[in-house]
Every structure is written in C-alpha cells, then in structure tokens.
Amino acid sequence: MMPVRVRITAILRKAIYSGEYKSGDELSLTDIAARLGVSRTPVREALQSLEAEGLITLRMNKGAIVNTIDRKFIRDIFEMRILLEAEAACRAAKNGMETEALLERLYTLRDHLDAIDRADYETLNQDIHMAIWQAADNHQLKNYLLEMWNGPSVGHGENAADTHFRNSTYEHIAILHFIRDGKAEEARKAMTQHISRSMDNILARYS
C-alpha cells in the first residue's frame, strides 16, 4: 500500500497541477488534515515534500502558500516520470512480472467503460503502476516514482475524465501485454506514450 504521507502528497500535488489550488492560495495544515481524515503529522510531512519540489512555500505557523507553476515546471516533472516509468516497465518485462490478475481487472473495466466508478479506476490505476515499480526490482527507482506520484492526470473540459479513463484503460492493457510477453522495448515505448499523454492533459491548463 502507498504510505499515508505519499498518498496525501499525491492528493495535494494533483490539486495544484489541476488548478484546484492556485498560485497564492494558502494551504492550512489543520484544514487539510480534517478534510482528509488524518492527523496533522503526515500532512506536515507532505507539505515539506511539496516545498522541496518547489510547489509551495511554507510559512512559520501559517501553513503554506502555493507557488506560481509554469509549463516548464510541469514538463520537467513529467519528463522525469517518463524516463523512470518507462525504465520500470522495461525492467518489469525482463523480470517476468505476473500480470494476469491486473489484466483481468482491466478487462472487466474495459467491458463496462460506460459506467466507470472513479474510485475503482483510481485504485486500479495505482495498483498497476505500483506493481510495475515493484517488478522493476530497484528500491531507489520505486522510491523516486512514489515521490512523484499524482494519480490520474485528467484533462480539462466536458467529459475529460471519462475520456482519460477510457484511453488509460486501453493503454494499461497494452503495457501489461508487452510486459507479459517479455517485450521490454515495446513496454518502454507504450509507457512513454502513456505518461506523455498524461503530461499533455496537465499542460493544456497552462497554455
């Protein structure tokens, strides 16, 4: 399972990327802890991580302020994810990752795309990526990717979420097929395309 600190960091990171929290907004440690139903400690740790990334500036006893984020900042982050996740997929294929259980869940989702439950999709999305990181069998690689996780990178506009979930489902199936079949370079390419599309979804807000 994803550690609480990492999960909270991902939630806040995604909120900043998506514009839910805008430049200059103040983040209250107490309010965030109450909203997410957790103690203040993992929220404080999450805010420290976000400051280290340059997303926020901590204020003594006053929470944090969201920094101004531009296209280059987003692109730099996602380019690193592309490099690391593509390598993880390649290694997972070479290491003979077990994919059957995840593929069965994806096939079920694919057959019910008109009634996707967002929470179920987000759980499966996380499970797929974490399983690939684990199968890559490199502790540091997995930790770096955990620290960059922001969940599904949904685009903007009407039906953006449904479109993203649909595209991601087919992309995940393709990635796991390549991994299952030991096609390392194909898995690398498919993961690169998958994360690149997520990056484009986020960048659309900054155009």
pLDDT in tens, 154-198: 766 667 777 888 899 999 999 999 999 999 999 999 999 999 999
Instruction: Please report, for the domain that includes residue 93, its CATH number.
Output: 1.20.120.530
Residue 155 vs residue 137, higher pLDDT: 137
Task: Identify the residue whose tokens are 């030991």.
Answer: 182
Considering the domain architecture, whether residues 58 and 103 belong to the same structural domain is answered as no
Task: Identify the residue whose tokens are 């990181």.
Answer: 133
Considering the domain architecture, whether residues 191 and 160 belong to the same structural domain is answered as yes
Sorted by sequence, the CB contacts under 8 Å of residue 138 that are 6+ apart come out as: 88, 91
pLDDT in tens, 34-90: 999 999 999 999 999 999 999 999 988 778 999 998 899 999 999 999 999 999 999
DSSP 3-state of 154: coil
Considering the domain architecture, whether residues 37 and 106 belong to the same structural domain is answered as no
Q: What residues are paired with 64 via a beta bridge? A: 27, 58
Considering the domain architecture, whether residues 27 and 81 belong to the same structural domain is answered as no
Domain membership of residue 105 as a residue range: 71-206
DSSP 3-state of 128: helix
pLDDT at 113 > cutoff 80? no
